Chains A and B, each alone.
Chain A
Amino acid sequence: MPQKSKYKAPLAHLVNPGHSACAGCGMIIASRLVLDAAGKNTIVTNATGCSEVTTTQYPMTAFKIPWIHSLFENPASLASGISAVLRKRGQEDKINVIAIGGDGATFDIGLGNISGMWERGDNVLYVCYDNEAYQNTGYQSSGATPLNAHTTTTPAGTKSFGSQLPKKNMIEIALAHNLPYVATATVGYPLDVIDKVKKTLAIKGPKYLQIYCPCVPGWGIEPKDTVKVSKLAVNSGFYPIVEFINGQLARKMTISKQEPVENFLKIQKRFKHLFASPGGQKEIARLQVIADYNIKKFGLI
C-alpha cells in the first residue's frame, strides 16, 4: 500500500507539479531552480521544446508567474520587447525578464535573435537548458550535441560513431558579444544554479546562463542518474562549470579527483556503441582529449 502521510506539499515553488516532464528530467529541475531563485517579480518568455510542452498543456500551466510562449526561435525577441516596455515605464529594476530556451532553440534556431538582443544590450537573462539535442521531437542532434553521441539523426552504426561534429562553443559566442555575465552551471549542483541566478540578476544588461540538464530518454539514463551523470560530466572535465564577469574568468568549479571520461560515457546509452568495438576505444580517447583540454584551458585542477 502507498504510505499514508499526514503532511501535504505546500506547493510553494513557482513551478507547480502535475507537469508531464519525464521522471528524473533535468530541464524541469533547472526551470524550478531558476524561477525560485529569481522570485515572483519575474516575467518569462519560453521557446518551444520540452520546457514549454511539458508545462503548459492547454488549458493548464505549471507556472505561477507571467509566462509567454510564442515561437520556437522567439524567446529573445519577445523578452527584448518586454524589457523595452519595462524600461519605458521605469520598472526595469523591479521586474526580472528571463528568456528560457533549450539547446536547439539557443545554439541553432534562435541564435540570430539572441545575437540581436545581446547586441542591443537588452536587460534580459537568457537561460539555455542544455540537454544536448532536440529532445522533445524525438532526440535529433543539435549544435549542442557532443562528438560521438548517438541521436536519431546521427545514428551510430557500422559506418558511424554517432555525431561527427564537436559541440558548438556557445560560451565563446556569448563572450564575443561582450556580455557582462556569461556562465555555465548544472542541475547536478543545484546550489550553484541558485547562486548564479541571484548573482546575475543583480547585473543590469544582457546575461547568459547555460545549464547542463541530462535528458532521461534522450541520453538513455536511469531517472535516478541525472545528478550522477551531471557530476561525472563536470568532474571528468567534459562539461566545465565556469563564470565570466565582463569577459574575465571570475570563478570555476574545480575538480578534486579527475574522473576518466569513460566513467561518464558508460552509463549513457547514447555512447554505448563506443564500448562495442576497438574503433570505439579510439573515439573515447578523442573525447578524453576534449576533457583534458578543458581542464588545462580553465585550470580546473
Chain B
Amino acid sequence: MKIPITVKPGTTARVKTGNWRELYVPEIDYEKCIGCSMCEKICPEGICFSTGEKNSKGKIFFEKDLDYCKGCGLCAEICPAKAIEMKREEK
C-alpha cells in the first residue's frame, strides 16, 4: 500500500467552520467602517476582508465570511471605529 505524504495546498478550505459559532455573530456596520484592516489582521480564521467598495464617506469597508466565522469576537474587540458588534445569532 502506498500513502502519499504530500497534500494539495489550502485544502482545509472545504471544511466550513461556521457551525462552530455558539451564541454570537459579528455584524459590520459598513457606514462606521474606516477600512483600517485591523479585523483582517486579527481574525484567527483569516476571513475578514476588504470588499473593495466604498461607503458614503468614501471609505472602503470590510466584511466577514460566515461560512467560516467561529464567532470569537476578536474583530469586534480590535476595531478602533467600533464598527463591529457581536449580535445574538438566531439559528
Q: How far is B38's CA from A33's CA once the two chains are assembled, in angstroms?
A: 12
Task: Name the contact of A12 in the complex, choosing from B45, B49, B63, B67 (C-beta under 8 A).
Answer: B49
Q: Which of B11, B41, B72, B78 contacts A223 (CB 8 A)?
A: B72
Q: How far is the CA of A287 from the CA of B82 in the complex (A)?
A: 33
Contact partner of B77 (CB less than 8 A), chosen from A11, A63, A227, is A227
Q: Are A24 and B49 interface neighbours, CB within 8 A?
A: no
CB distance from B21 to the nearest CB of A (A): 8
Contact of B42 among A59, A64, A227 (CB under 8 A): A227
| Cβ-defined contact, B42 with A29, below 8 A | yes
In whole angstroms, what is the CA distance A5 to B47 when docked? 13
A254-287 vs B, CB cutoff 8 Å, 1 = contact: the mask equals 0000000000000000000000000000000000
Is A211 on the interface with B (CB-CB < 8 A)? no
Residue of A nearest to B12 (CB): A18
> In the complex, are the beta carbons of A7 and B74 less than 8 A apart?
no
How big is chain A's contact interface, by range? 35 or more
Tell me if B13 and A61 are in contact (CB < 8 A).
Answer: no
Known A224-B73, A227-B42; contact A61-B12, beta-carbon cutoff 8 A: yes
Q: Given known contacts A3-B66, A12-B49, A17-B47, is B72 in contact with A23 (CB within 8 Å)? A: yes
Bound form: Cα–Cα A57–B7 in Å: 10
B38–A28 CB distance below 8 A: no
**When each residue 22-64 of chain B gets 1 if its CB lies under 8 Å from chain A and 0 otherwise, what string results?**
0001010000000000100111111111010000000000011
Report chain B residues within 8 Å CB of A16.
10-13, 46
In the bound assembly, the distance between CA atoms of A187 and B20 in angstroms comes to 22
> Is the beta-carbon distance between B44 and A21 smaller than 8 angstroms?
yes
B34 to chain A, nearest CB (A): 15
Which of chain B's residues 58-90 have a Cβ closer than 8 Å to chain A? Answer: 63-68, 70-74, 76-78, 86, 89-90
The answer to whether B11 touches A61 (Cβ under 8 A) is yes
- Residues on B with beta carbons closer than 8 Å to the beta carbon of A57: 12
Distance, CA A107 to CA B83, complexed state (A): 40
A184 adjacent to chain B (CB < 8 Å): no
Known: A9-B65, A24-B73. A17 touches B11 (CB 8 A): no
Q: Are B46 and A58 in contact (CB under 8 A)?
A: no
Residue B78 contacts which of A19, A33, A194, A227 (CB distance < 8 angstroms)?
A227
Q: Which residues of A contact B44 (CB under 8 A)?
A: 21, 23-25, 28-29, 32
Complex contacts, B66 vs chain A, CB 8 Å: 2-3, 5
A52 to chain B, nearest CB (A): 13
B91 lies within 8 A of chain A by Cβ: yes
Contact B9 A63 (CB under 8 A): yes
Residues of A within 8 A of B (CB): 1-3, 5, 7-13, 15-21, 23-25, 28-29, 32-33, 55-65, 187, 190-191, 194, 222-228
- On B, residues with C-beta under 8 Å from A are 4, 7-18, 20, 25, 27, 38, 41-49, 51, 63-68, 70-74, 76-78, 86, 89-91
Given A11-B13, A18-B13, A33-B41, 14 more A-B residue pairs with CB atoms under 8 Å apart are: A2-B66, A3-B27, A12-B49, A15-B46, A17-B13, A17-B68, A18-B15, A18-B16, A23-B72, A24-B70, A28-B44, A61-B7, A190-B41, A191-B41
